Structure 1
Amino acid sequence: MTTLILGLLIFLGIHSLRIFANDWRNRQQARLGELPWKGLYSLASIIGFVLIVWGFGLARQHPVLLYVPPLALRHLNALFTLAAFVLVAAAYVPRNHLKAKFGHPMLLGVKVWAFGHLLATGMLRDVVLFGAFLLWAVVLFIVSRRRDRGTGTVYPAGTLTGDVLAVVIGVAAWAAFAFWLHLWLIGVSPMA
């Protein structure tokens, strides 16, 4: 569990600099330059992610059951995850209504994904992993929306084309992950 927690601290910590140390982050970016800063940021993110994956695998070897969710919540999680994939796609597809309305649909997607997984799983490792991501996404969403209001940030208006693209890309990515990649990468079939 220690490796998982260390990975979460590194990965979510580096992704929380705008929350807790935005001035320091800006100074370092100015001092190092944009590309070196992005390189260090990416390296720290990759190290954190590898530790999360490794730590989660280690935690699977020592399961600690906290609660047993009803089977229906496992199926409901498939819908939560579908919505999460569409929200994440909306973060990258230009001019869609989700981005125009919420500004940060990726963070909403992480919240929906983490919440759905907390409903569907009951092991300590799951609560640590998904609970950490849920807490991080909630806090960062609030801070990001507050920053947007403070700076007067307005996102481009959504279009039907942007909406359709976000949904099609999100559903396609979700289907690939749900029916093939999740079992291959994580070792669990969410559709079983």
Structure 2
Amino acid sequence: MTVLILGLLLFLGAHSVRIVADGWRSRTLARLGEGGWKGAYSVVSLVGFALIIWGFGLARQQPVLVWSPPTAMRHLNALFTLLAFILVAAAYVPRNQIKARLHHPMVLGVKLWAFGHLLATGTLADMVLFGAFLLWAVLDFRAARLRDRAQGTVYPPGTASGTVAAVVVGAVAWAVFALWLHAAWIGVAPLGRTF
């Protein structure tokens, strides 16, 4: 569990700088330049991500069961994860109404993904991993909305075609991940089988 926690501290810590130290980030960015900042940020994030994967794999070898979620939670998680994929796609597909209305759909997608997995899984490692991501997403969304208000950020209106594209891209990515990649990469078939 130590490796998992260290990975979460590094990865989420790097992604939390704007939440807790936006002024320090701006000063460091000015000192290092954009390339230097992105390079350091990327290295810390990648090391943290690798430690999360390794630590979660280690923790799964000796699981500590906290609770046994009912089967219905697994189905609810599938719905939450589908919506999360659509939200993440909406962060990147240009001019969609989801981003125009929600402003930070990726962070909301992480919230749904983490919350759904907390409902559907029951080991201590699951609680630590998904609980940490849920807490980070809640704090990051709040900080981003406060920054938007302070800076007077205006998001461009979305179009129907952009919205449909975000939904289709997200749904297709979810289907590929749920039906094949989750089992191959994580070792769990979330829908009970793979095709």
> TM-score, normalized by length of structure 2?
0.97
Map Cα deviations across residues 27-86 of structure 1 (whole Å, 9 max, x no partner). Answer: 111111101110110111000000000000000111101011100110111110000000
Q: Does 2:129 correspond to 1:129? A: yes
Partner of 2:167: 167
Q: Does 2:84 correspond to 1:84? A: yes
State percent identity of aligned pairs.
68
Q: Does 2:171 correspond to 1:153? A: no
| Distance in 2 between residues matched to 1:51 and 1:44, nearest whole Å | 11
Partner of 1:96: 96
Number of residue pairs the alignment of both structures matches: 192
| Distance in 1 between residues matched to 2:20 and 2:102, nearest whole Å | 22
**Cα offset for 1:95?**
0.8
| Distance in 2 between residues matched to 1:16 and 1:99, nearest whole Å | 21
Partner of 2:71: 71
Partner of 1:33: 33
Partner of 2:112: 112
Q: Does 2:181 correspond to 1:181? A: yes
Q: Which runs of 5+ in 1 are unaligned?
A: none
Partner of 1:17: 17
Q: Tell me whether 9-18 or 91-100 shows the greater mean CA deviation.
A: 91-100
Give the 3-state SS of the residue equivalent to 1:33 in structure 2: helix
Partner of 1:190: 190
Query: Which letter does structure 1 place at the counterpart of 2:87?
Result: L
| Distance in 1 between residues matched to 2:179 and 2:118, nearest whole Å | 20
| Distance in 2 between residues matched to 1:146 and 1:38, nearest whole Å | 23
Q: Which runs of 5+ in 2 are unaligned?
A: none
Map Cα deviations across residues 76-125 of structure 1 (whole Å, 9 max, x no partner). Answer: 11110000000000000111111111110000000000000000001000
> TM-score, normalized by length of structure 1?
0.99
